[in-house]
């Protein structure tokens, strides 16, 4: 049971065109039945190492060796299987059964055995009876479990997981922990890349800590949590500072979808100028739908919305007044330099040229990316692109800033840094900030008001 | 205080996008993919050839019966054909403008109806056929790698429509001139490329990379042929698989084998 299944020897990798190596001198071994967690901040090389183990690194230059012992029981089984971070682009078929069957089909498993593997794979992740359902109707947690089932159906000797909980709410995380507990009990060997391994502490046998592409530690105890020092600028909201006029007023909002039914039921929300509000809700609770209603992307079935003094505005009516940052902000970047990206909205709002330069410089400095001003936005890291997108929406000093899952894909220090930036928005620009997320805030003190969206209704939560 | 929007608005949100696969069961769902293709081609060919009001009325009735036999609703129908309604709103007045109302009305109506009738069987096919069924049919004609490419592209069409909507909204809030009215002015066309097409292309390339990596990680393309799931074996009472075909070669199957 203690045979080595994974042996990495002095492995290094440099991506094509990159100045520095993403991984250098990695040596490690994983034994059968072990649950190993790769930890480290974003960009430290966790995902690259997993891709290297899978043999999926394209281009670039690799050194050293990675050996994965293939299964000696099933000659068709792959040595390793991987569950990627984003279930959305990993799911290739339209129904649950087809998705789980996809791997065994490629391995030329006999047709009638595939059906058995589908049933067993789904049973392993608690999705029995869902075979014929459309994957599009699944919640994020269900999609992630489906992705695990689709890899398990291939019976890999080694299961690799890349940030499996990054898109999941508390319940989704608990479900996934239960799945992995059962898999570990059955003797599966698992290597998981995760920057926040806290939900899996009871399962993990060993932590391998990566820092800037190097393995800096192998330990049985989890790494220390990031300490956070209280910030003096976390001043509470005061109506005397900003007045009592609401920036956002939602009354009796109804919204429904097919199959899922009513998402919002007579939802009420009133946010005053300068407030910092956190709206929390589970996956599928309707948070993003609410935000899309506020941004004028979806027309609700009933109810009224006032945003920045405009009733039921469309996206074109909110230029410069409302800034929106959806998940994966990189998709709104297009300019050749960061400076041009940030200047775009100001130019469209007809700011004088000298004013544009001044405001852009201020926004870049505010977001801590002044040193990136002449870089191409699309060549930056995820965290840097996040800041560029934020600088682009805060530059016109919007009255209201709406952020949908702004912490997705960021590690803990990056999350804290973003939160600190957002904390300064009301004081600096008088901007109201509404964060919508499925997770708790990295620091709960940030919010003047915390709300919960549940059962289609918005309710205040205790501080 | 509250202004209720007309009730029919919520019923129109019966599916997420046009031609979305409906997981319900119906006689049309149970029909083989090949038969549906054949029946659809016949209906489309008749629609293309239909010239007089009686023939077209019969074809409309037949197409509607086919659509409703798939247990699809009128709301679904509206989702599927609403773009053609806009087209009809353009085509019919144009015919009237060119030939006068008396001469131009009927050809305008006929052409618009023919287009919808030509397209509708295809919509029924997409709404009632699983990817695997369609792939099973296609793989007899083209290599499975190519058929997979076709269907994975179809699978991601709604994802990109959703992306497109989001990007348009985000960029319009930043001042991009992307509304249909603004796009009538050629001076605003650079915005279409810079603010919409470029980010969408970047997103598409990234998604394509992730999809191909996911397919490769699951053994796609490993062998020149592949096997296919027999969905009839998925029913709870279906016999356990593997015994007959793989006797003597397979180990006993259990959850512990994973």
Task: Output the DSSP codes for A97-141.
Answer: HHHHHHHHHHTT--HHHHHHHHHHHHHHTT-TT-TTSBGGGS-HH
B positions 147-166 inside 8 Å of A (CB): 152, 155, 158-159, 163, 165-166
In a domain, A363, yes or no: yes
* Residuewise pLDDT in 10s, chain B (258 residues): 444 444 444 445 566 677 877 877 889 988 888 889 889 999 999 998 888 899 999 999 999 999 999 988 888 888 888 888 888 988 999 999 998 888 989 999 999 999 999 999 999 998 888 776 777 777 777 888 888 888 788 778 777 877 888 888 888 888 899 888 888 889 999 999 999 999 999 888 888 888 999 999 999 988 888 888 877 777 665 554 433 333 223 333 333 333
Query: What token pair was written down for A192?
Result: 């998981």
In a domain, A286, yes or no: yes
B positions 5-34 inside 8 Å of A (CB): 5, 9-10, 13-16, 20-21, 23
Domain range for A152: 4-219
| A235 at B interface, C-beta within 8 A | no
Say if the Cβ atoms of B174 and A348 lie within 8 Å: yes
Q: Give, for A356, the enclosing helix (H) or strand (E).
A: helix A353-366
Q: Which residues of B touch A342 (CB under 8 A)?
A: none
User: Residues with Cβ < 8 Å from A33, sequence gap 6 or more?
Assistant: A1, A2, A184, A187, A188, A189
* DSSP conformational letter for A396: T
| Together in a domain, A192 and A296 | no
| Together in a domain, A362 and A440 | yes
What DSSP letter does each residue of chain B carry, written as one string? ---BPPTHHHHH-SSSSTTPPP-S--HHHHS-HHHHHHHHHHHHHHHHH--SHHHHHHHHHHHHHHHHHTT--HHHHHHHHHHHHHHHHHHHHHHHHHHHHHHHHHHHHHHHHHHHHHHHHHHHHHHH--HHHHHHHHTTTS-HHHHHHHHHHHHHHHHHHHHHHHHHHHHHHTT---SHHHHTSGGGHHHIIIIIIHHHHHHHHHHHHHHHHHHHHTTTTSSSS-----GGGGSTTSPPSSTTTTTTTSPPP-GGG-
In a domain, A231, yes or no: no
In a domain, A226, yes or no: no
The pLDDT score that the predictor gives to residue B16 is 67
The pLDDT score that the predictor gives to residue A228 is 55
Least Cα separation, residue A224 to chain B (angstroms): 32
| Together in a domain, A307 and A359 | yes
| Together in a domain, A208 and A245 | no
| A244 at B interface, C-beta within 8 A | no
End-of-domain residue from the set A219, A248, A265: A219
Q: Which residues of A touch B176 (CB under 8 A)?
A: 344, 348
| Together in a domain, A292 and A362 | yes
Say if the Cβ atoms of A110 and B241 lie within 8 Å: yes
| Together in a domain, A79 and A192 | yes
The pLDDT score that the predictor gives to residue B7 is 44
Say if the Cβ atoms of A315 and B169 lie within 8 Å: yes
Nearest to A54 among B9, B203, B217 (CB): B217
Q: What is the pLDDT of residues B235-256, one digit of tens each?
A: 665 554 433 333 223 333 333 3
User: Residue A201's domain is classified under what CATH number?
Assistant: 3.40.50.300
Domain boundaries, chain B: 18-129, 144-219
The pLDDT score that the predictor gives to residue A9 is 94
| Together in a domain, A13 and A148 | yes
In a domain, A160, yes or no: yes
The pLDDT score that the predictor gives to residue B31 is 87
The pLDDT score that the predictor gives to residue A462 is 67
Say if the Cβ atoms of B229 and A98 lie within 8 Å: yes
| Together in a domain, A298 and A172 | no
* DSSP conformational letter for A226: P
* DSSP conformational letter for A198: G
Say if the Cβ atoms of B229 and A331 lie within 8 Å: no
* Residuewise pLDDT in 10s, chain A (463 residues): 458 999 999 999 999 888 888 999 999 999 999 999 999 887 788 999 999 999 998 888 999 999 998 877 777 788 999 999 888 788 888 789 989 999 999 999 998 899 999 998 898 888 888 888 878 767 777 888 899 999 999 999 899 999 888 777 888 788 889 889 988 988 889 999 988 888 888 999 999 999 889 999 888 887 776 555 555 456 666 666 667 778 899 999 998 876 567 888 999 999 988 889 999 988 778 888 898 888 888 888 889 999 988 888 887 788 888 888 887 777 889 899 999 999 999 999 999 988 999 999 999 998 888 989 999 998 888 888 888 999 999 999 999 999 988 888 788 888 888 888 888 888 888 899 999 998 888 888 888 899 999 888 998 886 5
Point out which residues pair with A68 in neighbouring strands. Answer: A6
pTM for the model: 0.77
| Together in a domain, A57 and A154 | yes
Q: Taking CB atoms and an 8 Å cut-off, how many pairs form between chains A and B?
A: 240
In a domain, A288, yes or no: yes
End-of-domain residue from the set A219, A251, A281: A219
| B235 at A interface, C-beta within 8 A | no
| Together in a domain, A38 and A122 | yes
| Together in a domain, A304 and A184 | no
Rounded Cα distance between A132 and B73, Å, is 20
Say if the Cβ atoms of A315 and B173 lie within 8 Å: yes
Alpha helix ranges (H) inside A62-217: 87-90, 96-106, 111-124, 140-152, 170-185
End-of-domain residue from the set A166, A186, A219: A219
ipTM: 0.82
User: Pick from A115, A133, A114: which is nearest to B236 by CA?
Assistant: A115
Least Cα separation, residue B211 to chain A (angstroms): 6
Say if the Cβ atoms of B4 and A302 lie within 8 Å: yes
| Together in a domain, A409 and A312 | yes
What's the domain count of chain A?
2
In a domain, A227, yes or no: no
């Amino acid at each position: 049971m203690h045979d080595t299944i994974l042996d990495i020897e002095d492995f290094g990798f440099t991506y094509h065109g990159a100045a520095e190596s993403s991984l250098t001198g990695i040596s490690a071994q994983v034994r059968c039945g072990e649950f190993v967690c790769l930890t480290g901040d974003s960009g430290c090389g966790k995902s690259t190492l997993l891709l290297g183990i899978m043999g999926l690194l394209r281009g670039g230059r690799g050194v050293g060796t990675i050996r994965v012992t293939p299964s000696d029981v099933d000659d068709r089984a792959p040595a390793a299987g991987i569950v990627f971070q984003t279930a959305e682009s990993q799911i290739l078929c339209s129904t649950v059964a087809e998705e789980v069957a996809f791997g065994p089909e490629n391995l030329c498993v006999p047709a009638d055995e595939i059906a058995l593997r589908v049933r067993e794979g789904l049973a392993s992740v608690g999705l029995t009876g869902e075979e014929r359902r459309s994957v599009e109707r699944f919640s994020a947690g269900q999609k992630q479990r489906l992705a695990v089932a689709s890899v398990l159906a291939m019976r890999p000797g080694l299961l690799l997981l890349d940030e499996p909980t990054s898109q999941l709410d508390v319940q989704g995380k608990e479900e996934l922990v239960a799945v992995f507990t059962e898999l570990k009990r059955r003797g599966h060997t698992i290597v998981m890349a995760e920057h926040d391994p806290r939900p899996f502490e009871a399962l993990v046998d060993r932590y391998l800590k990566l820092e800037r592409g190097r393995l800096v530690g192998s330990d049985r105890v989890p790494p220390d949590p990031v300490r956070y020092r209280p910030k003096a600028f976390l001043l509470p909201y005061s109506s005397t500072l900003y007045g009592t006029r609401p920036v956002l007023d939602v009354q009796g909002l109804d919204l429904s979808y097919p199959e899922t039914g009513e998402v919002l039921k007579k939802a009420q929300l009133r946010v005053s100028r300068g407030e910092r509000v956190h709206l929390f809700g589970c996956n599928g609770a309707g948070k993003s739908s609410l935000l899309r209603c506020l941004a004028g992307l979806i027309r609700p079935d009933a109810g009224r919305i006032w945003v920045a003094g405009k009733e039921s505005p469309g996206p074109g009516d909110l230029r410069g007044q409302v800034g929106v940052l959806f998940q994966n902000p990189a998709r709104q970047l297009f300019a050749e330099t960061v400076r041009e990206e940030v200047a775009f909205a100001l130019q469209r709002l007809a700011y004088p040229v000298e004013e544009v330069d001044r405001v852009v410089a201020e926004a870049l400095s505010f977001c801590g990316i002044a040193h990136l001003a002449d870089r191409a936005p699309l060549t930056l890291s995820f965290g840097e692109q996040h800041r560029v997108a934020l600088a682009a929406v805060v530059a016109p000093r919007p009255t209201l800033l709406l952020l949908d899952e702004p912490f997705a894909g960021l590690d803990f220090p990056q999350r804290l840094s973003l939160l600190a930036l957002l904390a300064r928005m009301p004081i600096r620009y008088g901007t109201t900030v509404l964060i919508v997320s499925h997770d708790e805030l990295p620091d709960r003190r940030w919010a003047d008001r915390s709300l919960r969206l549940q059962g289609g209704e918005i309710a205040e939560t205790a501080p | 205080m509250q202004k209720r929007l007309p009730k029919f608005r919520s019923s129109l949100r019966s599916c997420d996008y046009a031609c979305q696969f409906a997981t319900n069961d119906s006689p049309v769902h149970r029909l083989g993919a090949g038969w549906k293709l054949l029946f659809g081609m016949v209906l489309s060919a008749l629609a293309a050839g239909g010239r007089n009001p009686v023939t077209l009325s019969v074809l409309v009735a037949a197409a509607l019966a086919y659509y409703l036999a798939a247990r699809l609703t009128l709301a679904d129908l509206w989702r599927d054909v609403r773009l053609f309604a806009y087209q009809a709103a353009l085509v019919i007045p144009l015919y009237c403008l060119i030939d006068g109302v008396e001469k131009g009305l009927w050809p305008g109506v006929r052409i618009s109806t023919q287009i919808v009738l030509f397209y509708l069987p295809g919509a029924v096919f997409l709404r009632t056929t699983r990817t695997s069924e369609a792939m099973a049919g296609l793989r007899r004609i083209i290599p499975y790698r190519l058929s997979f490419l076709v269907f994975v592209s179809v699978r991601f069409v709604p994802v990109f429509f959703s992306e497109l909507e989001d990007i348009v909204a985000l960029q319009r809030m930043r001042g991009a001139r992307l509304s249909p009215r603004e796009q009538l002015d050629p001076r605003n066309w650079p915005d279409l490329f810079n603010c919409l097409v470029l980010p969408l292309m970047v997103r598409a390339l990234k998604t394509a990379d992730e999809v191909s990596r996911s397919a490769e990680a699951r053994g796609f393309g490993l062998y020149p042929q592949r096997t296919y799931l027999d969905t009839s074996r998925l029913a709870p009472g279906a016999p356990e698989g593997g015994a007959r075909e793989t006797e003597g070669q397979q180990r006993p199957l259990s959850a512990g084998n994973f």
